[in-house]
Amino acid sequence: MPLGPFHPGLLAPQAFVFRVTDEHIVDVEYQNGVNERNCAERMVRLDPASAFFLASRVCGECSFAHAAAFSTAVEQLCGLTLSRRAQQLRVVAAELERSIAHLRGSAGVLEAAGMTVRARPLLAVRSELIGLFERLTGARIAADYCVPGGLSRDLGQLQRKEILTGLSGLERTLYTEVDLLIDHQLLLLRTIDVGTILRAAAEQLGVRGPLARSAGVARDTRSDMPYWIYGEYGFSPVVQEGGDVYARLVVLLLEAYESIKLAERCVRELDDAPSRGTFPAEVPSGSASATIEGPRGRIRYAIESDGTRLTTVRIDTPRQFDRLLVRTFFSGAAIDNAALIAASAYPCIACAEC
Residues shown for the chain: 354
Q: Say how far apart CA 77 and CA 80 lie, in whole Å.
A: 8
Q: What is the pLDDT of residues 230-258, one digit of tens each?
A: 999 888 999 999 999 999 999 999 999 99
CB contact at 8 A, 253 and 102: yes
59 touches 350 (CB < 8 A)? yes
What's the rounded Cα separation, in Å, for the pair 87 and 350?
26
Q: What 3 state SS string does 160-210 have?
A: HHHHHHHHHHHHHHHHHHHHHHHCCHHHHHHHCCCCCCCHHHHHHHCCCHH
Rounded to whole angstroms, the Cα distance separating 265 from 55 reads 29
102 Cβ contact list (under 8 Å, min separation 6)? 210, 252, 253, 255, 256, 259, 295
Taking a C-beta distance cutoff of 8 angstroms, is the pair 68, 292 a contact?
Answer: yes
DSSP letters along 34-69, please? Answer: -----HHHHHTTS-HHHHHHHHTTS-STTHHHHHHH
The pLDDT of residue 34 is: 60
* Cα of 77 vs its chain's centroid, Å: 25
Superfamily holding 38-319: Cytochrome-c3 Hydrogenase, chain B (1.10.645.10)
pLDDT at 33: 64
- At 92-148, the pLDDT tens digits run 999 999 999 999 999 999 999 999 999 999 999 999 999 999 999 999 888 889 999
| pLDDT above 90: percentage of residues in the chain | 77
pLDDT of residue 147: 93
Vertex 8 angle, CA 54 and 121, to 5° = 105
Name the residue with higher pLDDT: 281 or 306.
Answer: 306
Contact 95, 260 (CB under 8 A): yes
Burial class for 137, CB neighbours closer than 10 Å (0-12, 13-18, 19+): buried
Q: How crowded is the C-beta side of 145, counted as CA atoms within 13 Å?
A: 28
pTM of the shown model: 0.93
3-state secondary structure of 242: coil
Query: At 329, which helix (H) or strand (E)?
Result: helix 323-330
Average pLDDT value over all residues in the chain? 91
Domain borders along the chain are 1-32+323-345, 38-319
Q: Estimate the crossing angle of helix 63-78 against helix 84-112, to 10 degrees.
A: 150
The pLDDT of 299-305, averaged and rounded, is: 96
pLDDT at position 7 is 54
Residue 3 has pLDDT above 70, yes or no: no
- Confidence band for 348, pLDDT divided at 50, 70 and 90: confident
